Structure 1
Amino acid sequence: MPSNPSDVLIVGAGVSGLTTGFRLARQGLRVRIRAEDAPGSTNSAAAGAIWDPIYAEHPRVGVWAARSYKVFSRMTERGFPGVRLVDGIEASRDPMETPEWARLLPGYRECELRELPPGFEHGWHYRAPIIDMPPYLARLEQLVREAGGDFEFGVHLSSLADADAPIVVNCSGAGAHDLVPDPEVTPIRGQLVQIRNHGVTDFFAEHTPELGEMVYLLPQGDTILLGGSAEPGIADPEPDPAVAAAIIERCISIFPWIEQAEVVGHRGGIRPSRPKIRLEHEEADGRHVVHNYGHSGAGVSLSWGCADDVTDLVLGLLGRERKEDGAE
């Protein structure tokens, strides 16, 4: 164990844990992040990570999503590793009204039917942050360290009662099912197929009312991530070849050129599904616990907004006011 005491212990080193740790460390707090896996081995590292906040429930989703969009946009301007603003189309197979949040985004316009792939009835164009997660998480970890935070990896907590800090921030994702314990948290495995990119610059995302077997193409420089899938109740992130084949088949049915593309990799990860995001403070086992988990498929999209709310809760517990840290 580190000899230096911490003001805050963060459980989890995925995107929520790192973003929250960065915000708290920049406020001058002594932050320690404890996790079983280093950031590059977390479920966050496997995410396709297009900004899309629709697969999460909470009254503040709109606020958190807008805040995160703003931060990602600034990161793009500053050349933050892995972060880009990409133009593209989101489309539905059924007639629908364009969501209000989409109408507010840069580059928004309604699509004409001729712009949509066969079988799609409605779509809209906009500009969205797309994040290449491995380099993004690596840079976030570095920033936390530079701000004075430290890390413990390879550590398994069986209970939050084992946490040794006056304030614990629970960013354990799907692990919250056992750690809290919280039976409302259920795992949903998602998979992506990585193919060689020969010039695609715009994304395509199928709009569905809930996570499922949708189609999306996310350009990541020299490669494209194909999706997607959602397998409720499966907690093993190892990609399933049959699911990967089905993803490719669905994508080929819309974009036939994919049949000739070279497959260069596969990704699998676990989304921490919950009927409602849990971001709140409670007193448990003689310490303060601030929960930040249950983001379903929108953890990256909401990460900065949620981190700001957690920071305000923690500072309030310490009787401090937020100072502008001048960093994203």
Structure 2
Amino acid sequence: MERDQSGDVIVVGSGVIGLTTAVVLAESGRQVRVWAREAAEGTTSAVAGALWWPYRIEPATLAREWALESLTVYEELAARPAETGVRMVEGVQGETRLDEQGPWIADRLPGLRASTAEEYAGTGMWARLPLIDMPVHLRWLRERFLKAGGTIEARTVTDLAEAEAPVVVNCTGLGARELVPDPAVRPVRGQLVIVENPGIHTWITSVDPAAGATTYVFPHPDRLVLGGTADEDEWSLTPDPAVAEQIVARCAALRPEIAGARVLRHLVGLRPARHAVRLERELRPDGRILVHNYGHGGGGITVAWGCAREAAGLAYR
């Protein structure tokens, strides 16, 4: 007897957007397969910082809703940090004024306050936010998906039409540029330096508008993630030693103890930037449904759960 495939879904892409979407769909009772060119550990998501904050994501109104929905999930996951990779960590957003934050976030994060001179030399905002250890979190998402009955297949997709299922969800990130094709998707290259953690427990971000550089220090129990760069339309995945030295120097200017920290790794990731997230439903001529969920830039982790739930709603509205 032939199996009823009416509830089948193929999610293309295994980054944080793809896996989170696959989890939501599988836990709603669908038969979900993830098709991925590479394992989650090889995606851009694995290289992400990854601090929750709705930064440069459009459309802004929807992004706020997606971000707040995701925040609720991360707050719950932070109760099991070793398992989920999510911790609630305090730190300073430099060059950010508390009075410039809208009620949508100020009311949701009542602990927000202006930073003190001891915490940050310039104008800053102190916040307690989710900080995600991405390799741990991606492994946890994958295991949660598999426990929900999902399957993962290593497969390079050259045409979305290859995915023969009643519902296909396109979570291919930068790959959507060629796969859709969508020339609006372009890379924003980010370089990171991973060093031993000399005892830093709070994160910090600092913006130098004149130099166009954002510097950040994200602490994890076993390491610090130092950044960063935002090189638009740059495709190279090879770390630049000179840029790495600059990143360490900028971070050490904020936290002097970083200067002597041993370097563990150099990483590069290509953020899938777009003028706005594409989250929409497309009805194919053969009656199949294609849902696009890509173009999150560097904010994928911030909006992942909100976007996943909306994508699932679009697939089965």
* Structure 2 SS opposite 1:298: helix
1:98 touches 1:124 (CA, 8 Å); kept in 2?
no
CA-CA distance at 1:31 after TM superposition: 0.3
1:284: which partner in 2? 284
1:76 aligns with 2:78: yes
* Residues 1:139 and 1:251: Cα distance change in structure 2 (over 3 Å): same
Give the 5 Å matches for 1:265-276.
265-276=265-276
Distance in 2 (alpha carbons) for counterparts of 1:115 and 1:198: 18
Give the letter for the 2:58 counterpart: E
Give the letter for the 2:62 counterpart: R
Of 89, 92, 102, which aligns to 2:92?
Answer: 89
* Structure 2 SS opposite 1:77: coil
CA-CA distance at 1:299 after TM superposition: 0.2
1:63 aligns with 2:59: no
* Residues 1:111 and 1:46: Cα distance change in structure 2 (over 3 Å): same
CA-CA distance at 1:208 after TM superposition: 7.2
CA-CA distance at 1:142 after TM superposition: 0.8
1:51 touches 1:129 (CA, 8 Å); kept in 2?
yes
Q: C-alpha offsets along residues 250-269 of structure 1, whole Å, 9 cap, x if unaligned?
A: 22233333221111112211
Give the letter for the 2:183 counterpart: P
* Structure 1 SS opposite 2:214: coil
2:32: which partner in 1? 31
2:240: which partner in 1? 240
* Residues 1:285 and 1:266: Cα distance change in structure 2 (over 3 Å): farther
* Residues 1:10 and 1:293: Cα distance change in structure 2 (over 3 Å): same
Distance in 1 (alpha carbons) for counterparts of 2:166 and 2:235: 31
1:321: which partner in 2? none
Give the letter for the 2:219 counterpart: P
Give the 5 Å matches for 1:157-168.
157-168=157-168
How many residues end up aligned between the 2 structures? Answer: 308
- Normalised by the length of structure 2, the TM-score is 0.91
CA-CA distance at 1:213 after TM superposition: 2.1
Give the letter for the 1:127 counterpart: R
Percent identity, please.
Answer: 41
Distance in 2 (alpha carbons) for counterparts of 1:20 and 1:208: 35
1:102 touches 1:108 (CA, 8 Å); kept in 2?
no
Unaligned runs of 5+ in 1: 317-328
1:102 touches 1:126 (CA, 8 Å); kept in 2?
no
Distance in 1 (alpha carbons) for counterparts of 2:93 and 2:105: 10
Give the letter for the 1:68 counterpart: S
CA-CA distance at 1:315 after TM superposition: 2.1
* Residues 1:253 and 1:198: Cα distance change in structure 2 (over 3 Å): closer
Distance in 2 (alpha carbons) for counterparts of 1:177 and 1:310: 19
* Structure 2 SS opposite 1:67: helix
1:322: which partner in 2? none
CA-CA distance at 1:107 after TM superposition: 2.4
Give the letter for the 1:91 counterpart: G
Give the letter for the 2:113 counterpart: R
Distance in 2 (alpha carbons) for counterparts of 1:313 and 1:95: 37
Give the letter for the 1:84 counterpart: R
1:87 touches 1:107 (CA, 8 Å); kept in 2?
no
* Structure 2 SS opposite 1:229: coil
Give the letter for the 2:233 counterpart: G
CA-CA distance at 1:159 after TM superposition: 1.7
* Residues 1:252 and 1:198: Cα distance change in structure 2 (over 3 Å): closer
Distance in 2 (alpha carbons) for counterparts of 1:195 and 1:213: 20
CA-CA distance at 1:235 after TM superposition: 2.4
* Residues 1:144 and 1:245: Cα distance change in structure 2 (over 3 Å): same
1:115 aligns with 2:116: no
Q: C-alpha offsets along residues 263-298 of structure 1, whole Å, 9 cap, x if unaligned?
A: 111221110000000001012353211010000110
